[in-house]
């Protein structure tokens, strides 16, 4: 954005990107929750500067920005935001394999407890997206020897 961009222009650009990435329903809920005189400036700030200024910059595409945010959210242990950014990353073209690898990388650098929670959040979001018809899983459950080994280790049959 140029230095002459107004707050209204940043807000409008940010709102467009925010809805495209996070989804109309999420953005509507966030804005409704921030309608008080006390909370609305936070929604303005996020929409103008995060979405209108940073997400509209050249140099990284939306998929790359989403991938960065996933790692950051795991590091911060910000599970609700991780879910939002996983959903956005899928909308931005991140594959299930890329998501898994990002979470594995995050596990190594952020710790196993954070990684375990991140995988649970991701499974939940992916399954929710499937249930809503927003996504088709590309990685199935374990099969064959891998499934038998996992079941044996878990004490299953």
By 3-state DSSP, what share of the chain in percent is helix, strand and coil, each rounded to 5?
Answer: 75, 0, 25
Q: List, for residues 11-31, the tens digit of each pLDDT value.
A: 999 999 999 999 999 999 888
Instruction: Please tell me the predicted confidence (pLDDT) of residue 151.
Output: 77
Helix count (H) and strand count (E) of the chain?
8, 0
**CATH 1.20.1290.10 residue ranges for the chain:** 61-157
Name the residue among 91, 51, 84, 59 with its Cα closest to residue 76: 84
Q: Which residue has the higher pLDDT, 27 or 154?
A: 27
Q: Is the pLDDT of residue 130 over 80?
A: yes
Instruction: Please tell me the predicted confidence (pLDDT) of residue 61.
Output: 98
CATH number for the domain formed by residue range(s) 61-157 = 1.20.1290.10
Cα-Cα-Cα-Cα torsion 11, 12, 18, 19, nearest 10 degrees, comes to 140
């Amino acid at each position: 954005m140029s230095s002459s961009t107004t707050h209204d222009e940043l807000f409008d650009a940010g709102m467009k990107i925010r809805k495209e990435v996070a989804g109309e329903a999420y953005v509507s809920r966030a804005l409704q929750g921030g309608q008080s005189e006390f909370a609305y400036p936070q929604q303005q700030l996020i929409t103008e500067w995060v979405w209108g200024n940073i997400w509209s910059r050249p140099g990284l595409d939306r998929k790359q920005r989403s991938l960065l945010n996933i790692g950051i959210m795991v590091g911060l242990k910000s599970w609700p935001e991780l879910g939002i950014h996983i959903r956005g990353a899928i909308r931005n073209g991140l594959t299930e394999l890329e998501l898994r690898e990002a979470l594995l990388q995050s596990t190594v650098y952020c710790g196993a407890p954070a990684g375990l929670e991140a995988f649970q959040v991701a499974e939940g979001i992916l399954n929710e997206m499937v249930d809503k018809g927003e996504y088709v899983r590309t990685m199935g459950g374990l099969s064959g020897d891998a499934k038998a080994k996992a079941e044996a280790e878990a004490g299953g049959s």
